[in-house]
Homo-oligomer: A and B are copies of this chain.
Amino acid sequence: MALRYALLAALHEEPATGYDLNQRFGRRQGFVWSASHQQIYRELGRLHEEGLLSMEAEPQAERPDRKRYAVTPAGEAALRDWLATPQPRPATRDPLLVKLFAGDLVDDEALRGELATLRRAWEERLAAYREVEATWFSDPETLSRHYRLQYLALRRGITAGQAWLHWLDEAEALLQDA
């Protein structure tokens, strides 16, 4: 049920098309909430049907119409309600941990390879996050509340990444002489 609120939140910041949202949910917002384009289009359709979004179609020559969505007052109210309701924590479901748990059946080379890939992925992500941090949030104290909260979302990404890298150090050390 949270995808719809992620969409409402994104559209509250700025009206957009499904296409735009799909870009964002793959990149900037991917670390907050990821979704495929099919999910996005489907959910936008529903939100519009329910009157939480308004839609304006811009006809285009030789292409499907661009449909620009914006949050209606009803949509904003729904979002506010949801924001005020405590959400249960998402369950952990990590295939890597399943592999570790399977223990002795795991091939050593394959495991090391997967850890190495994970390290590279997090190093890249962290670098990207840090660049955003340096460019937009260099002086957090002076930010408005709105941007402080967004900064905190980014900080969550950063601290999570650091924790993974730290764990990877431990893992590689402990596998060294296993």
A102 contacts the other chain (CB 8 A)? yes
How many A residues, CB 8 Å from partner?
Answer: 70
CA distance A170 to B96 in the complex (A): 28
Identical subunits present? 2
A75–chain B nearest beta-carbon distance, Å? 11
CA distance A101 to B104 in the complex (A): 42
Query: A90 contacts which of B94, B114, B160 (Cβ < 8 Å)?
Result: B94
CA distance A148 to B177 in the complex (A): 11
Query: A97 contacts which of B80, B107, B148, B156 (Cβ < 8 Å)?
Result: B156
Which residues from chain A sit less than 8 Å from chain B, CB to CB?
2, 5-6, 8-10, 12-13, 29-34, 76, 79-80, 83-84, 86-87, 89-107, 110, 113-114, 117-118, 121, 140, 144-153, 155-156, 159-160, 162-163, 166-167, 170-171, 174-175, 178
A to B CB contacts below 8 Å, 30 in the list? A2-B95, A5-B98, A9-B98, A9-B101, A9-B105, A12-B105, A13-B103, A30-B92, A33-B94, A33-B97, A34-B92, A76-B105, A86-B114, A87-B99, A87-B114, A89-B118, A90-B95, A101-B149, A102-B149, A103-B149, A104-B145, A104-B146, A106-B149, A140-B174, A148-B175, A152-B167, A152-B171, A152-B174, A159-B167, A160-B160
